Structure 1
Amino acid sequence: MINLKNNELETNRLYLRHFKAEDLDEYSKIMGQDEVGQWLPRGRGYTEEEVKKFLDSISKHWEEKEYGIWAVIEKNSGKIIGHCGLNYVKQNDEVEVLYGFGKEHWGLGYATEAAGAALVFGFDKIGLNRIVAFAKIENIASRRVIEKIGLKYIKDIEIFGMSCAYYESKCK
């Protein structure tokens, strides 16, 4: 089940909503985890200042593109457990689906649920013809998520200073 309202999504277990200023502390704890950051371009957990800059860029992206990255909220707890959404990649002129979750929420299917909903949003709501995804080559768990939501492996590439597996999905 995917419920769409005001560019926010609801799935069976999650709400995907715009970030709010008051999310900074809780979200910084997630992004500050080195286990999370190891799979992102910095290769380590993010500082609160880096997270604030990221949130500012997310807000600007939504204003410019009318799509972007959401805070992912677990319905049962009401807490932020990560982020997921669509991001325009200027250097490749394409849109990627991306996600990141606190380590305590890995392996529970949340990334697959959220990223699948983001794909539906991208294809059905905003009319994208193609969506890509990147995962560090050694990040097997993330690559499984990408494949579960239907993206196909294309090749290995260098992007964001990382060696990544490159995937794509085209609108059906």
Structure 2
Amino acid sequence: MRALSVPLLEIETARLRLRPLQEHDDAFILELLNEPAFIANIGDKDVHDLAGARNYIEKGPQASYRQHGHGLLLVELQDDSSPVGICGLVKRDSLPHPDIGYAFLQRHWGQGYACEAGAACLEHASARLSIDYVVGITSPHNLGSIRVLEKLGLQYDRTLELPGINGPSLYYIPAKTSAEKE
């Protein structure tokens, strides 16, 4: 297991700031994880109150920071620090490589935030964490997420079943690697 070797830093883009999730982000996490689109596309995380949101932050992203040196980060607007989503690397026991994960409040869809945050996370993974191979997973019906993965330079590789996820998942790999495989 990779221990935290590089301190988690804030990542800034032209419009966004990505930072580690903290306990005081509980109200935002409660809202995000209970949006109908989140539940339909990612799943019900069984977070129904602020205590559940704090537990999710502690046992999910913060545990990942400690264990892997990376995890989902809060994405907020630079101009007013309002949270719009989460984005970062997720290391699943069932996959050999970390995947890029993201979710944004539906009212912020269509503004390019997922692509902007995702690209910043991939750059950070390569430059600061020496992680050059990041995959993507999404449900077959999540067309918006498929477009984000493709814009981030990933391409469809195969469909697979993952533990804890109901139904099939589409598995995306870096596009340059697909050509090298043949």
TM-score by length of 1: 0.88
Q: Return the offset for 1:14.
A: 0.4
3-state SS of paired residue (2:91): strand
User: Which residue of structure 2 aligns with residue 29 of structure 1?
Assistant: 31
Give the match's secondary structure for 1:61: helix
Q: How large is the Cα RMSD of the aligned pairs?
A: 2.1
Unaligned runs of 5+ in 2: 1-6, 178-182
**1:117 and 2:117 matched:** no
Q: Bigger radius of gyration, 1 or 2?
A: 2
Structure 1 residues 122, 171: CA separation in 2 closer, same or farther (over 3 Å shift)? Answer: farther
- Pairing partner for 2:168 from 163, 169, 172: 163
Once the two structures are TM-superposed, the CA of residue 36 in structure 1 deviates from its matched residue by: 1.9
Q: Deviations over 1:51-100 (max 9, x none)?
A: 33321121111011111110000123311111000011111232010000
Query: How many angstroms does 1:41 deviate by?
Result: 3.0
The offset of 1:112, in angstroms, is: 0.4
Structure 2 CA distance for partners of 1:146 and 1:136, relative to 1, 3 Å: same
* Match of residue 53 from structure 2: 51
Unaligned runs of 5+ in 1: none
- Partner residue, 1:90: 93
Range moving further from structure 2, 122-131 or 144-153 = 122-131
Aligned AA (1:29): E
Identity of aligned residues (%): 23
Q: Which has the higher helix share?
A: 2
What's 2:3 paired with?
A: none
Change in 2 beyond 3 A, CA 1:137/1:14: same
Task: Specify which structure has the higher proportion of strand.
Answer: 1
Stretches (4+) displaced over 4 A:
none
- 1:17 alignment partner in structure 2: 19
Distance 1:73 1:139 in 2: 23
SS in 1 for 2:135: strand
Are 1:60 and 2:66 matched, yes or no?
no
Change beyond 3 A, Cα 1:103–1:167: same
Equivalent residues, number:
167
